[in-house]
């Protein structure tokens, strides 16, 4: 059971399902096997932990995201001109769920600190609608920091975004698909 809720565990119990494996949370007393969700692991890895707890053999659990040679070459042409030797941090600033958004002034402060205090190059990419959000942040940080803020929205397609994220040192964002895509390429992520 992937859902951590009393209602989910109760429904499975009332449905007569004899073997119920899930996370130790609300409704754990109704599970036949309850495991503690490991902190600091991607949700997909936690789900695989449920299978392992039930004795199901699982491979290494690594998501298989393939980057085509064409996508890798196109992204390399866009990213390689960035200053060499500076950490590259991807900001995933928007989600389709407005309640997940973080205020623009905080994004601007984060970008400023990443550039000024950590010597980073800050990279953004997303849908065409996200470009407007990136512009708001770029205007808020001022010209010195804006020179280290790079928006690849018009250059990198959605299909190529995985190749872009795979070249990042860190991804910071709201809970959105881009953060999960970064994690699947073993890029460390911070979700706000």
What is the model's pTM?
A: 0.73
Share of the chain above pLDDT 90, in %: 57
The secondary structure of residue 190, as a DSSP letter, is E
SS3 151: strand
| Element spanning 136, H or E | helix 128-141
List, for residues 79-137, the tens digit of each pLDDT value.
Answer: 999 999 999 999 999 988 888 889 999 999 999 999 999 999 999 999 888 999 999 99
Q: Specify the domain boundaries for CATH 3.40.50.2000 within the chain.
A: 69-191
CATH superfamily of 69-191: Glycogen Phosphorylase B; (3.40.50.2000)
Residue 52 has pLDDT above 90, yes or no: no
Q: Residues near 24 by Cβ (< 8 Å), separated by ≥ 6?
A: 31, 34, 35, 36, 37
pLDDT at residue 38, as a whole number: 84
Please give the structure tokens belonging to residue 54: 């039930």
More confident residue, 61 or 178: 178
């Amino acid at each position: 059971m992937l859902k951590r809720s009393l209602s989910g565990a109760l429904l499975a119990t009332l449905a007569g399902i004899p073997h119920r494996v899930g996370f130790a949370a609300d409704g754990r007393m109704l599970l036949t096997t309850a495991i503690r969700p490991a902190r600091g692991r991607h949700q997909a890895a936690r789900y695989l932990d449920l299978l392992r707890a039930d004795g199901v053999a699982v491979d290494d659990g690594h998501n298989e995201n393939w980057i085509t040679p064409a996508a890798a070459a196109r992204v390399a042409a866009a990213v390689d001109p960035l200053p060499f030797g500076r950490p590259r941090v991807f900001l995933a600033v928007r989600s389709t769920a407005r309640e997940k958004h973080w205020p623009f002034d905080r994004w601007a402060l984060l970008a400023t600190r990443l550039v000024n205090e950590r010597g980073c190059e800050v990279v953004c990419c997303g849908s065409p609608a996200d470009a407007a959000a990136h512009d708001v942040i770029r205007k808020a940080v001022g010209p010195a920091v804006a020179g280290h803020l790079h928006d690849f929205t018009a250059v990198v397609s959605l299909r190529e975004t995985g190749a872009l994220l795979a070249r990042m040192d860190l991804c910071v964002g709201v809970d959105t698909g881009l953060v999960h895509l970064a994690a699947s390429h073993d890029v460390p992520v911070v979700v706000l």
